[in-house]
Chains A and B, each alone.
Chain A
């Protein structure tokens, strides 16, 4: 096994994120309570997703430059793992929101209705659907070169769509979701120093785990490709 330093770093950072994330002190805020610790997990999913999508688009551009199949495989697998982390981010956000945003005085369906109208949630869902279309598009083209070329171009469009859907439009509309006036958790005035020492390592740990899983899928895909060409 290729036990490189970043794999060990990922394991160490994730263990630190879980243990330190649950035990180290956090600011006491009404309504959030201990759920503020979700920052180390829910927000990290989105950060890791964004990093993986960025790696994916870099490989798409590389593919369009030199037409080497390995870049196509890489851009596909990084996008796949990125989307998976995005779905996990969405799911964890749904759990978190239902215990912090929902008004206990309202019936459940009324709170659900208002939560589902959140621009951040709609934007994130849109972004994930755009990436979902990427995989459908890939699988619908049988010609290998055409598939790689069309999906590389689409991947660039999908990445560009991330900016209006998750970065710009949700910030223009009123929302319960934090981070209205800037980058949530990235802004130094916005995040407590006690949380920063866990949050940044956690982002790195989760991103490295995503890269690790993607690298496994890439190696498997390359093996398949080799086997296919040998037969």
Chain B
């Protein structure tokens, strides 16, 4: 179930990127304005969210250990 969820999520993410690329060919979207600063924001936000998710996972694991 978990694996299925993950693959579905990946598929969803891929379809979104495809959609964005298709749009870019015709007109500039937010990601391409202001010297592409939004791309940097997206990258940094992804890294930050990834690190926070890691901390949350650690927190959950330690909580599990504490219950045992």
Show the binding face of A for B, using Cβ within 8 Å. Answer: 1-2, 7, 11, 14-15, 18-19, 22-23, 209, 212-213, 216, 219-220, 223
Contacts and interface: CB of A to CB of B under 8 A. Distances in A.
A209 B60 CA distance: 16
Given A219-B66, A223-B65, A223-B66, A15 B45 contact: yes
B59 A22 contact: no
Contacts, number: 40
14 contacts: A2-B59, A2-B63, A11-B52, A15-B45, A15-B48, A18-B48, A19-B45, A23-B37, A23-B41, A209-B55, A216-B59, A219-B62, A223-B65, A223-B66
A11 B49 CA distance: 8
Given A14-B48, A223-B66, A19 B41 contact: yes
Interface in B7-45: 37-38, 40-41, 44-45
B40 A22 contact: yes
Nearest to A2: B63
The listed residue with most B CB atoms (<10 A of its CB), out of A1, A22, A220, is A1
Interface residues of B, number: 18
A213 B65 CA distance: 17
Nearest to B42: A19
A41 to B, nearest CB: 10
Contact of A212 (B44, B55, B60): B55
Contact of B37 (A1, A22, A209, A212): A22
Nearest to B63: A1
B66 A14 contact: no
B45 A18 contact: yes
Contacts of B65: 223
B41 to A, nearest CB: 5
